[in-house]
């Protein structure tokens, strides 16, 4: 079953067109990496999925259903949770409240406050403190936990390693692999070579607003992957 499908997508901010021709798909249980250099439009793909960038042409479908116009809440209600770039922990809300916010779609599944606290015990310890008062790595756990609270079929992570220490990135990679093994599909938008390698199975490469290459990561040499993600 295809959870996310983009077909010849063109999108823009105001009059500035950023995506010219993006086609990709993620099926149930897949681990897909979307890679490319800075400024090629990777985050705009995410912004198109939440309606923050305008879809000018092409087709976006969540769980087989075409979306137009796209509203920010459509993806989450269709089983697609997004961990945005910069994490976007809501200021003024506690860790517990940020997590509860993620349960808005009311989808049944294994994830709830207790299971999130079980996976990331630090969140239980800091549950009544402000989410924005935590370290970058802890905020990343909170952002992932919040996304999981919706019991998604697909988790999209936009640059989750940004600003994290290497050891924290390794822990993040391990937890994403565990999630994937439990059946959650993952679309990882990343530039961190090691994280892409440890989590991804298939890949798409973006350049200048278009998808220019795709395949299996196992068939891609380390040098070629580094070439695609280097600044």
State which of residues 27, 57, 61, 100 lies at the interface with another protein (CB under 8 A).
Answer: 100
Place of tokens 């983009």: 6
| CA–CA distance, 218 with 197 (Å, rounded to integer) | 9
| CA–CA distance, 56 with 20 (Å, rounded to integer) | 10
Instruction: State which residue, 159 or 220, has the beta carbon closest to another protein.
Output: 159
Under the criterion CB under 8 A, does residue 154 sit at the interface with another protein? no
Instruction: State which residue, 13 or 215, has the beta carbon closest to another protein.
Output: 13
Under the criterion CB under 8 A, does residue 102 sit at the interface with another protein? yes
Burial letters 90-102, b for 16+ CB under 10 A, else e:
eeeebbbebbeeb
Under the criterion CB under 8 A, does residue 50 sit at the interface with another protein? yes
- Whole-number minimum distance, CB 167 to another protein, in Å? 28
Instruction: State which residue, 93 or 168, has the beta carbon closest to another protein.
Output: 93
| CA–CA distance, 59 with 13 (Å, rounded to integer) | 17
- How does strand 54-62 pair with strand 65-66? antiparallel
Residues 6+ apart with CB under 8 A from 2: 25, 26, 27, 28, 61, 63, 64
CA-closest candidate to residue 6, choices 218, 180, 211: 211
Site for another protein in 69-98 (CB under 8 A): 71-73, 75-77, 82, 84, 88, 90-93, 97
Give residue 137's region: left, alpha or beta (phi > 0; psi -120 to 50).
alpha
Instruction: State which residue, 127 or 177, has the beta carbon closest to another protein.
Output: 127
State which of residues 105, 109, 137, 163 lies at the interface with another protein (CB under 8 A).
Answer: 105
Under the criterion CB under 8 A, does residue 54 sit at the interface with another protein? no
Instruction: State which residue, 13 or 73, has the beta carbon closest to another protein.
Output: 73
- Whole-number minimum distance, CB 81 to another protein, in Å? 8
Where along the sequence are the contacts to another protein (CB under 8 A)?
50, 52, 71-73, 75-77, 82, 84, 88, 90-93, 97, 100-102, 104-105, 146, 150
């Amino acid at each position: 079953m295809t959870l996310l499908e983009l077909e010849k997508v063109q999108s823009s901010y105001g009059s500035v067109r950023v995506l010219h021709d993006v086609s990709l798909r993620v099926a149930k249980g897949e681990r897909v990496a979307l890679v490319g250099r800075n400024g090629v439009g990777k985050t705009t793909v995410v912004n198109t999925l939440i309606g923050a960038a305008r879809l000018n042409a092409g087709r976006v479908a969540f769980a087989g259903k075409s979306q137009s116009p796209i509203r920010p809440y459509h993806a989450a209600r269709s089983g697609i949770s997004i961990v945005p770039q910069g994490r976007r922990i809501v200021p003024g809300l506690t860790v517990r409240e940020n997590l509860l916010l993620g349960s808005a779609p009311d989808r049944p599944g294994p994830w709830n406050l207790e299971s999130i606290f079980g996976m990331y015990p630090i969140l239980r310890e800091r549950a009544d403190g402000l989410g924005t008062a935590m370290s970058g790595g802890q905020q990343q756990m909170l952002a992932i936990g919040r996304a999981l609270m919706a019991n998604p079929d697909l988790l999209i992570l936009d640059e989750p390693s940004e600003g994290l220490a290497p050891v924290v990135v390794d822990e993040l990679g391990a937890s994403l692999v565990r999630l994937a093994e439990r059946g959650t599909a993952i679309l990882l938008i990343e530039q961190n070579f090691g994280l892409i390698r440890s989590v991804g199975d298939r890949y798409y490469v973006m350049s200048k607003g278009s998808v220019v290459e795709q395949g299996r990561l196992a068939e891609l040499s380390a040098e070629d992957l580094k070439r695609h993600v280097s600044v």
